[in-house]
Chains A and B, each alone.
Chain A
Amino acid sequence: MSTEQKQKILIVDDSELNRAILADMLADEYEIVEAENGLQGVGLLQQQETEISLVLLDIVMPQMDGFGVLEVMAQNHWIDDIPVIMISAETGSSHIERAYELGVTDFISRPFDALIVHRRVVNTILLYAKQKRLVGMVADQIYENQQRSSLLIDILSHIVEFRNGESGLHVLNVRTLTELMLNQLVQKTDRYHLSPSDISMICTASSLHDIGKISIDEKILNKPGRFTDEEFAVMKTHSLAGAEMLENLPIHQNDPLVKVAYDICRWHHERWDGRGYPDGLHGDEIPISAQIVALADVYDALTSKRCYKDSFPHETAIQMILDGKCGAFNPLLLDCLRDFADDLPAHMNNSNSVAQRSRREMRNVAQEMHRHEELTASERTLQLLEHERMKYSFFADMSKEIQFEFTASPPMITLSNWGAEHLGLDEIIMDPLHQPEAREVMDPADFQNLVDILRSTSPDLPVVTYDCKLNYKGAWRWTQIIARATWSNDEPPRYTGAIGKAIDIHDSRMKLASLERQASHDALTGLLNHAYAKKRILERIESRPTASCALVIFDLDHFKSANDTYGHSFGDQVLVHLAEKLRQCIRGGDIAARVGGDEFLIFLEYKDDVETVISRIFQSLCGQFEHFPLSISMGVALTSTSMCDYDHLFHAADQALYTVKRGGRGQYRFYDESMRETLSAISPIDGDESEQQN
């Protein structure tokens, strides 16, 4: 830990004066952050967890008391890394006992002695720092030792190979393949109870599988061509010979690595069907480590050139193994092999670099450290974390996005710096569902909805998109929230909250809405246009096939003369006026549209007396606009008398309108069979609708 930077102490106490006294005593050596209640304390811990070296905690506080803070700290495992000293005027033994049970390091009762508080703070921080440093040292040492022992093993196995006249890569290839197989296997089944450290050990020990060959005569080892029976018998002794060498080690006999290596040496020529050597073990009597190394050994032997054979291509080798031509293997392992067969050549090439291996080993150490309960995450991990946090907050600021993190328990939102400013909120919002400022920004119903949706996700499909309005300092704007629910690694996984961002989509959404409106409405009258009305009518007919409906088409009589006499702009005013009247005389569910020119359309549903309905509409549309008398010709077609599809209906109404026009205008008529052969009023002859003959 860096000594130049001051370590940070969090003081949680509801009395400012008490905080000030403590801060004053410690401010020279430490950086102090203060919280005036438990919730705020938790918020600061959430935000600066890795930076805080110690917490001084009061018990009796509003919003969340000291015990509440301790419970949250235990829940999040913060208490494992951050020491807490409780300071309280509560001196009842039950309080003290409960505090210790919840994991506090120390308990100081008021009135306190400045020197004692100071000393205990310093001691506790030193102790924890020392522990962290030890963890780091242990991690380094494990890493170094592993490095060194793999180096020795590499040298040793190279000697064996050298004598064997092999490429020198055999041991490495077997190790790589062994690791791939093991990782695949643990994903498939937990039958063999393999921990990451078992895997790492088997991989290391795999390098020793052929050490017994050191006892075989070089003439036999390097003989090109087939072995005689006697020679093969000698050759077969190498597995047992290797095992015996390990068994007879003067020291380390009980080392787990030696035991695993023993299994591998002795049994890497056994077969699943019991026909292998030296012991003729059957199925899972053969340790899984030896089973896997056996398979890896065969694959590499097939794909490498040897003194007695040429190399086979990868695909052929895999096929031969799967077909059982090169031994009998555990079907589960063959499945694993099949699973990654396609990626295998790439893996084998990649993994031959030492750097890669070191990284893998490093990862193993890191995993090991995590698994160990007494040892907390090493300092290296903390630094990485700190680095990630810095990166995150930098990019969050740069991106000008509202980014957030939500924790479910206790409910809390942490906003990115920019996001908080943009929404006029604090960066940390405790209990956002009930916090007045937060409720102003997002409708609590929306918030609850979003939380429910997040909670109902699964670890496999955690991403949610939610559109709602947010209040940006007074302006409600459409916003898209994209969030990813976070799930714990427990079994079963636990919902812990979410991360995500909110994107302002107001402008694009408004633009889309206005485009939609433009596309569906007539610009002059604001009624629907013909195409959109048709779409709506089709939907209506489809959703209510049995309803009785009427399609009405009408136009203004002598509209052309209005245009000619008073000008087109007056004509437009007449149309707007008529459209307004039309809007007033229809019901909410009815569909009204301007078909074009001075022709309009109404689609309505009726119960029994359609005549009265039509008559009423007709009457209310007639009248006068300034000097111009509004006279209407109207044709009506009913779904009960015409075919029920739109085109027939429209055509029938059109024919009824034509009949009215021909018969002297100024009235309405229902379509009947007598009109079947009439012409259309609407289909214009000269193409210009507004100039159409009326």
Chain B
Amino acid sequence: MTLQECYAAMSGNYDDAIGRLRSERLVQKFVLKFLDDGSYDLLCRSLEEKNYEEAFRAAHTIKGVCQNLSITKLQDSSSRLCESLRNGYTPESGVLAEEVREDYAQTVAAIQTFQKESAG
């Protein structure tokens, strides 16, 4: 799997990322680093604990990271979740959180496959 294919698998925009960050090396480095980012765990934990202020910040961070890396699909869903949590919990938040979970899983799966294949 190439990085480009990885982007396709996680519904990201490869060209945009390369265009902004200017180097394949850089994009690859940070896409792999995405796996270590704790914001998603924080999001899940905050939602469980009903700490919506913290959840807002976590969603906001995921959105920011995805923006930087042009991981478009997760960026869109996390952005929607973020907005729904900006002033506390709203009825849509639950559904939107579910979307984020799916997109996150898809993203992580794509990156993990890429990581395995590029390492091997």
Interface residues of A (CB under 8 A from B): 14-18, 20-21, 24-25, 58, 60-62, 88-89, 110-115
**Given A17-B30, A61-B57, do A111 and B70 touch, yes or no (CB 8 Å)?**
yes
Q: Can you spell out 17 A-B residue pairs with CB atoms less than 8 angstroms apart?
A: A17-B30, A17-B33, A17-B68, A20-B33, A21-B26, A21-B30, A58-B64, A60-B60, A60-B61, A88-B64, A111-B16, A111-B20, A111-B67, A112-B20, A113-B19, A114-B20, A114-B26
CA distance A60 to B70 in the complex (A): 20
Q: Report the minimal beta-carbon distance from B32 to chain A, rounded to whole angstroms.
A: 10
CA distance A446 to B65 in the complex (A): 44
A20, A58, A88, A115: the one contacting B30 at CB < 8 Å is A20
Closest to B60 in A: A60
Q: Are A110 and B57 in contact (CB under 8 A)?
A: no
Q: Report the minimal beta-carbon distance from A58 to chain B, rounded to whole angstroms.
A: 8
Q: Does B24 contact A (CB under 8 A)?
A: no
Interface residues of B in 14-46 (CB under 8 A from A): 16, 19-22, 26, 29-30, 33-34, 36-39
CA distance A236 to B61 in the complex (A): 83
Q: Are A21 and B68 in contact (CB under 8 A)?
A: yes
Closest to A13 in B: B64
CA distance A544 to B28 in the complex (A): 86
Q: Report the minimal beta-carbon distance from B41 to chain A, rounded to whole angstroms.
A: 13
Q: Are A14 and B33 in contact (CB under 8 A)?
A: no
**Given A24-B29, A62-B54, do A15 and B22 touch, yes or no (CB 8 Å)?**
no
Closest 10 CB pairs of A and B: A111-B67, A110-B67, A113-B20, A15-B61, A89-B64, A60-B60, A114-B21, A114-B22, A17-B37, A17-B65
User: Which residues from B are CB-within-8-Å of A88?
Assistant: 64
CA distance A563 to B68 in the complex (A): 94
Closest to B70 in A: A111
A15, A20, A24: the one contacting B64 at CB < 8 Å is A15
CA distance A111 to B21 in the complex (A): 10
| Binary per-residue interface labels of chain B (38-82) against chain A in the complex, 1 for a CB within 8 Å, 0 otherwise | 110000000000000010110011011101101000000000000
CA distance A24 to B69 in the complex (A): 14
Q: Report the minimal beta-carbon distance from B10 to chain A, rounded to whole angstroms.
A: 15
Q: Report the minimal beta-carbon distance from B102 to chain A, rounded to whole angstroms.
A: 21
Interface of B is mostly: helix
CA distance A16 to B19 in the complex (A): 22
Interface centre among A17, A58, A88, A114 (most CB of B within 10 A): A17
Q: Are B57 and A111 in contact (CB under 8 A)?
A: no
B38, B39, B67: the one contacting A89 at CB < 8 Å is B67
User: Which residues from B are CB-within-8-Å of A25?
Assistant: 26
CA distance A61 to B58 in the complex (A): 9
Q: Are B57 and A14 in contact (CB under 8 A)?
A: yes
**Given A24-B29, A110-B64, do A17 and B20 touch, yes or no (CB 8 Å)?**
no
Q: Report the minimal beta-carbon distance from A205 to chain B, rounded to whole angstroms.
A: 62
Q: Report the minimal beta-carbon distance from B62 to chain A, rounded to whole angstroms.
A: 9
Q: Report the minimal beta-carbon distance from B12 to chain A, rounded to whole angstroms.
A: 11
CA distance A18 to B69 in the complex (A): 10
CA distance A21 to B68 in the complex (A): 8
User: Which residues from A are CB-within-8-Å of B19?
Assistant: 113
CA distance A391 to B2 in the complex (A): 55
**Given A111-B20, A114-B22, do A15 and B54 touch, yes or no (CB 8 Å)?**
no
User: Which residues from B are CB-within-8-Å of A24?
Assistant: 26, 29-30
Q: Are A62 and B22 in contact (CB under 8 A)?
A: no
User: Which residues from B are CB-within-8-Å of A62?
Assistant: 54, 57
CA distance A25 to B20 in the complex (A): 11
A14, A17, A58, A60: the one contacting B34 at CB < 8 Å is A17
CA distance A522 to B20 in the complex (A): 85
Q: Report the minimal beta-carbon distance from A141 to chain B, rounded to whole angstroms.
A: 43
CA distance A62 to B16 in the complex (A): 30
CA distance A112 to B39 in the complex (A): 20
CA distance A111 to B29 in the complex (A): 17
User: Which residues from B are CB-within-8-Å of A14?
Assistant: 57, 61
User: Which residues from A are CB-within-8-Å of B63?
Assistant: 89
User: Which residues from A are CB-within-8-Å of B54?
Assistant: 62
CA distance A61 to B57 in the complex (A): 7
CA distance A18 to B63 in the complex (A): 11
CA distance A61 to B70 in the complex (A): 21
Closest to B38 in A: A16
Interface centre among B16, B26, B30, B65 (most CB of A within 10 A): B65
Q: Report the minimal beta-carbon distance from B67 to chain A, rounded to whole angstroms.
A: 4
Closest to B31 in A: A17
CA distance A148 to B16 in the complex (A): 61
Q: Are A60 and B57 in contact (CB under 8 A)?
A: yes
User: Which residues from B are CB-within-8-Å of A89?
Assistant: 60, 63-64, 67
CA distance A608 to B53 in the complex (A): 70
Additional A-B contacts beyond A17-B33, A60-B56, A113-B20 (5; CB < 8 A): A16-B38, A21-B30, A24-B30, A62-B54, A113-B19
User: Which residues from B are CB-within-8-Å of A110?
Assistant: 64, 67-68
User: Which residues from B are CB-within-8-Å of A18?
Assistant: 61, 64-65, 68
Q: Report the minimal beta-carbon distance from A379 to chain B, rounded to whole angstroms.
A: 34
User: Which residues from B are CB-within-8-Å of A60?
Assistant: 56-57, 60-61
CA distance A24 to B29 in the complex (A): 10
Q: Report the minimal beta-carbon distance from A445 to chain B, rounded to whole angstroms.
A: 30
Interface centre among A15, A61, A111, A112 (most CB of B within 10 A): A111
CA distance A88 to B67 in the complex (A): 10
CA distance A113 to B29 in the complex (A): 17
**Given A62-B57, A110-B64, do A15 and B37 touch, yes or no (CB 8 Å)?**
yes
A58, A61, A111, A115: the one contacting B22 at CB < 8 Å is A115
Q: Report the minimal beta-carbon distance from B26 to chain A, rounded to whole angstroms.
A: 6
Q: Report the minimal beta-carbon distance from A517 to chain B, rounded to whole angstroms.
A: 54
Closest to B30 in A: A21
Q: Report the minimal beta-carbon distance from A250 to chain B, rounded to whole angstroms.
A: 63
User: Which residues from A are CB-within-8-Å of B64?
Assistant: 15, 18, 58, 88-89, 110
A16, A61, A111: the one contacting B68 at CB < 8 Å is A111
Interface centre among B21, B22, B29, B30 (most CB of A within 10 A): B21
CA distance A342 to B119 in the complex (A): 86
User: Which residues from A are CB-within-8-Å of B29?
Assistant: 24
